[in-house]
Amino acid sequence: MMIIGVDYHPSFQTIAFLMEETGECGEQDLNHSDGQAEKFYRDLKQRGISVRVGMEATGYSRWFERLLAELGFELWIGDPAEIKAKRVKKQKTDRHDARLLRRLMLENNFPQIWIPSPENRDLRQLLWHRHRLVQMRTRIMNQLQALAMNEGYRWKKKLFSEQGRAQLEKLALAPWANRRRQELLELLDRLNPTIEELTAAVEREAGKRPEALRLMTHPGVGPLTALAYVLIIGTPARFPRGKHIGTYVGMIPSEDSSAGKQRLGHISKQGNSLLRFLLVEAAQAAARINPEWRRRYMHLAMRRHKSIAKVAMGRKLGVRLYWMWRNACEYSQSLEFGSYVGQLGTGHGVK
C-alpha cells in the first residue's frame, strides 16, 4: 500500500508518499489546473497500487474527494487543530506538513474526523443557499425601512404589508432615491418566491426523515432547524454526552485558566455557524410560546444579560434535541434531560 500525506491548496497540492512494501518514499508538487494531480492518481490506479491518502479538513476539495472515491482509494481527513498540536518543530512549509501527515498515518496517530455523505453535503447547500438569500432579503428590507424613516414614516413590519407597500410607493422622493426604492422593491419581489420555493424544499426533506419529525415536536423547532440539526450532527452516536453538542457547535465559553484562576471569555464559535444561529433563533421562539422556556430565559436574562441568555438557551436546546434523538422520543414537558449518558435530570437551570 502507498501512504500519501497531502498538504492541499486550491491550485496545487504537496504530497509525501511511502510504499510500505519497498520502503520507497518521496515528495512532489502536483498542480490541479493542468490535470497533473488527477493524472498522478489515475496512474496509480492503472498500476494496481492500493492507496491511502491523508489530508487536513479544508475547503475547495470536493473534486479531489470525488476523484479518490471514483478510484477506490481510501481517504482520511483529519482535524486541523489536532494536527497542528502534533507539530514538533517550529517550521511550517508545505513539505513539512505533508511529511507530518504521512508520519501520523504510519504511526496510527492520525486524528480522523467524521465526514458526511455526498447527499448530506448537497442538502447542506440547500440550507446555506436559503440562509444567504434570507440575509440578502433582510438587508433589502432594512434599506427600505431607512428610506421610509428618512421621510418621517416608521411603519416597522407594517411597511411590508399590502397597505404599507402602497404607502411606500406613493412617497414623493428625489430622482435617485426613487430609483433606489424601485430597484429594491424589484429585488424583494424576485427574492420572495425563491425563498418560498427553497422553504418548501426544506419542509419536504425534513418530512422524509423520522428523526427530524421527532425533533420538530419540541417548541420552537421547525423544519429548517430540525433538518439542519440532523444533517450537521449526523448521528448522536458520535457524541458520548449531550454537553459535547455545545462544544461541537461552539456555544461554550473560551477559557484561559491557570494557577487556580478561571478566566472565561466569549463563546468559542468553533463549529457550524448556521446551526449555531438556528439553535439560538429556535430557542427564542421556544421562549415566546412555551411558559417554561420563557421562565428560564427571563431568569438568565435578569442574572446576566439578554445576549448571554439567548446563547445559553440555544445551547440548552441543542442538548435537549440530542437526547430526544438519541432516546428516540418526542418532546414531553414532564421530562427534563440531563447532560450525561443515561442520566435524567430535573434541574431547571442552564449549567
99-144 pLDDT, tens digit each? 999 999 999 999 999 989 999 999 999 999 999 999 999 999 999 9
Closest-CA residue to 63 (of 113, 144, 8, 100): 8
Nearest to 280 by CA among 229, 305, 315: 315
Question: Cβ–Cβ contacts within 10 Å for residue 278, how many?
Answer: 26
Mean pLDDT of successive 10-residue stretches along the chain, which has 351 residues:
95 94 92 94 94 93 94 94 88 92 94 92 95 96 94 89 92 94 96 96 95 94 96 92 90 83 84 93 93 92 91 93 91 56 38 32
Are the beta carbons of 320 and 218 closer than 8 angstroms? yes
Least Cα distance to 266 among 227, 216, 305 occurs for: 305
Tell me, what's the pLDDT at 335? 53
Q: Which three cell numbers stand for residue 210?
A: 423520522
Residue 332's alpha-carbon distances to 216, 236, 320, 321, 336, in angstroms, are: 12, 19, 11, 12, 8
Is 259 exposed, middle or buried (CB count within 10 Å of its CB: 0-12, 13-18, 19+)? exposed
pLDDT for residue 243: 87
| Residues composing the chain | 351
Spatial CA neighbour of 56 closest among 91, 11, 9, 2: 9
For residue range 234-263, list pLDDT tens digits in order. Answer: 999 999 888 899 989 998 888 788 888 888
d(CA 118, CA 130): 19
* Interatomic CA distance for residues 272 and 252, integer angstroms: 13
Read off the pTM: 0.86
Q: What residues contact 284, with CB distance under 8 A and at least 6 apart?
A: 220, 297, 310, 313
d(Cα 138, Cα 233) in Å, to the nearest integer?
28
